[in-house]
Structure 1
Amino acid sequence: MHTNAHFPAPTLVSLGDVELEVFEAGRENEGNPIVLCHGWPEHAYSWRYQMPALAAAGYHVIVPNQRGYGNSSRPPEVTDYDIAHLTDDLAALLDHFGYEKATFVGHDWGANVVWSMALLHPGRVEQIINLALPYQPRTPVPWIAFMETVFGPDNYFVHFNRQPGVADAVLDENASQFLRNLFRKNLPSVPPEPGMTMINLAMAETPLGDPVMNDDDLKIFTSAFEASGFTSSINWYRNMDRNWHILSEIDPVIRHPALMIHGTQDMIPPSETLKDLVPNVEVLSLECGHWIQQERPEETTRAILDWLGEQEAAQGRRVGFLALAKGPIRRTNPHAGT
């Protein structure tokens, strides 16, 4: 049986200027929404293990293929993929379902969108769970120049921006091989080859480490990118500097309750300043690499559900405390009952 046999069928949701391909679970649990945001180069299917458990726990699980991915719209302009558009899409998705706010969960690039959602649409965010990518404070100079100085011109963020179209063509031509080589775990510690990492992966005939998923699951990702190409998803990277300017006047501190989940073998290091900018964050590490929710599905799902349960209990305690606090005030108010 294919792993995707019970993955829900999508709905195309019109949000005005774009349509998003949206997968849902637990629709009957409306009123307790949770939005799961995938990374690059991924797909809503990345959350296949978490969706049933979250629905069973009483959540309305909403999992979009974000703009540029799957069968969602792929607008032609690079600037159509800046962080304002990406977060506006999620706000519009809440409007579509009639929700004021939701819990947002993100992995990789999806985590960046979720952190930014808390900055640009703070009133729409109940709480945050992010995987792999910690909150990135603004750099002293725009992102790409900063990364070029630190990591050099072959860094893929820099390459995507400085040589538009080059990587896109290589990845499009070698989509199956690239994704097969990228979605790996238990990677050996070897120095990186010269050149741009993603192009190297697309051209490598022998993958390193172990596969993250079986062939049937990998085919879901491969088929999606063979149909869409990679340019629209890479355009997210081509807005890094634009995003730097968009966020320039925004209060950088995120005060929502947050959970940050790291993979101990991920090349993305934990943030040493996370608590300064996300004061209400808890940090958890799982023994895995970058593809956390697919490498450690049960542990990831349990971590998410446990933390959500703790937040609900804490909210209940706060409500109870407020009720107790108000009681004596009402009883001693000389105007009570008048």
Structure 2
Amino acid sequence: MGEIVHREVQANGIRMHVAEAGSGFPVVFCHGFPELWYSWRHQLRALAEAGYRAIAPDMRGYGGTEAPEDPRQYTMKVLCADMAGLLDALGLERAVFVGHDWGGAVVWQMGLRYPERVAAIVGLNTPYAPPSNRRTTEALRDYHGLTDETFYMRYFLRPGVAEAELEADIERTFHKMFMDWTRAEDFTTFMRVGGDGSGVLARIPDDRRSFLSDEEIAVYVEAYRKTGFRGGLNWYRAADLNAEEEGAPQGPQLHVPAMMITAANDTILKPEMAAAMPALIPGIRMEHLERCGHWTQQERPEEVNRLLLDFLAGLGLQQG
């Protein structure tokens, strides 16, 4: 019942790798940086066993999905068209969308851009914010009180620099990045580019403490040895271009069944950043996980699965 199968589809003009499990009402999972469909493995199995069709693509730029070189091919308009194209390729009219990190930004945008394709939205860590003409990397830099030298998003904008750091030793990169809630200080060091611009990983101890097993980390290492990090970094390099989009949806409110899950020890996507969401998304369900860092669905899969299944059960969706 919970067996994960893989396929390739054509969606929005690119080849997309998709992992799926189960049958029933579709639930699409959108991952963030630097992850893969694999970050949702626990959710795919749990939802399949509960009677849903769980679908997790490698997002544009990642894993087995194509990675255009031009950052302009990673704007929110394009990324949301990818997800609408995925539904088209699978012959689906609507789905529940679940997103984490950059995938969280995509699923909230799906509610604005393709409301007729969205049955409900679940966001992990990434808050919904009404569209703005502010440049994303500058707005978040200023929110955290940092500088171009000491904010990771601005560091990521420099072509080739982050690639060189992250690809120097990919196994070490993932051991340093996949840190649990007890290493929130290290996550802040990542955000601050070491505090001195030396690199996002340079000042993080190489003690191999992770909530993932060596076998799980090896899945990421194998994938990124093939692709490198450029595709994922292009999401950051496109972020400020979203402010220039003509005819972008404005909101500010989003009218769709929704749940937001915040994590107490995520020092970049802080829980307080979601404080305005109940006013912006009427009826939203707000949930919070203590002792949880940034990698929520992988660090706390049982709690995430429980919340997801409870939320889905309350929607009264036809499960096929």
Give yes or no for TM over 0.5: yes
The yes-or-no answer on 1:173 pairing with 2:171 is no
**2: CA distance between counterparts of 1:202 and 1:67?**
28
**1: CA distance between counterparts of 2:224 and 2:129?**
28
Task: State TM-score, norm by structure 1.
Answer: 0.83
Residue number in structure 2 paired with 1:274: 277
Residue number in structure 2 paired with 1:324: none
Residue number in structure 1 paired with 2:299: 295
The yes-or-no answer on 1:311 pairing with 2:315 is yes
The yes-or-no answer on 1:85 pairing with 2:88 is no
Would you say the 8 A contact 1:106–1:114 is kept in 2?
Answer: yes
**Structure whose CA Rg is larger:** 1
SS of the residue 2:156 aligns to: helix
For residues 15-74 of structure 1, the C-alpha deviation after alignment (integer angstroms, 9 at most, x for no partner) is: 252011100101xx24x1110111110011111111111011111111100110001101
Aligned residue type for 1:35: V
Would you say the 8 A contact 1:38–1:109 is kept in 2?
Answer: yes
Question: In 2 relative to 1, CA 200–239 (structure 1 residues): closer, same or farther, beyond 3 Å?
Answer: closer
For residues 156-210 of structure 1, the C-alpha deviation after alignment (integer angstroms, 9 at most, x for no partner) is: 111222x22211121122221111101011116477332348x3316745248x4
Aligned residue type for 1:302: R
Determine which structure has the larger helix proportion and give its number.
1
Residue number in structure 2 paired with 1:264: 264
Is 9-18 or 176-185 further displaced after alignment? 9-18
The yes-or-no answer on 1:22 pairing with 2:18 is yes
Aligned residue type for 1:230: F
For residues 136-171 of structure 1, the C-alpha deviation after alignment (integer angstroms, 9 at most, x for no partner) is: 33456322333444421121111222x222111211
**1: CA distance between counterparts of 2:115 and 2:252?**
11
Would you say the 8 A contact 1:7–1:48 is kept in 2?
Answer: no
Residue number in structure 2 paired with 1:251: 251
* Alpha-carbon distance, 1:254 to partner: 1.0
Structure 1 counterpart of 2:28, from 22, 32, 35: 35
* Alpha-carbon distance, 1:250 to partner: 2.6
Residue number in structure 1 paired with 2:240: 241
**2: CA distance between counterparts of 1:188 and 1:56?**
33
Aligned counterparts, 1:24-103, within 5 A = 24-26=20-22, 29-30=23-24, 32-103=25-96
* Alpha-carbon distance, 1:311 to partner: 1.9
**2: CA distance between counterparts of 1:7 and 1:304?**
19
**2: CA distance between counterparts of 1:277 and 1:74?**
33
Aligned residue type for 1:282: R
Would you say the 8 A contact 2:60–2:79 is kept in 1?
Answer: yes
Question: In 2 relative to 1, CA 148–132 (structure 1 residues): closer, same or farther, beyond 3 Å?
Answer: closer
Residue number in structure 2 paired with 1:217: 216
Task: State TM-score, norm by structure 2.
Answer: 0.88
Aligned counterparts, 1:65-214, within 5 A = 65-139=58-132, 141-149=134-142, 150-153=145-148, 154-161=150-157, 163-185=158-180, 186-187=182-183, 189=185, 192=189, 193-196=194-197, 199-201=199-201, 204=204, 206-207=206-207, 210-214=209-213
Aligned residue type for 1:256: V
Aligned residue type for 1:57: A
Question: In 2 relative to 1, CA 290–179 (structure 1 residues): closer, same or farther, beyond 3 Å?
Answer: same
Would you say the 8 A contact 2:58–2:64 is kept in 1?
Answer: yes
* Alpha-carbon distance, 1:249 to partner: 4.6
Runs of 5+ consecutive residues of structure 2 not aligned to the other structure:
none
The percentage of counterpart residues that share the same residue type is 36
Aligned length: 303
Runs of 5+ consecutive residues of structure 1 not aligned to the other structure:
1-5, 316-338
Aligned residue type for 1:216: E
SS of the residue 1:235 aligns to: helix
**2: CA distance between counterparts of 1:152 and 1:139?**
21
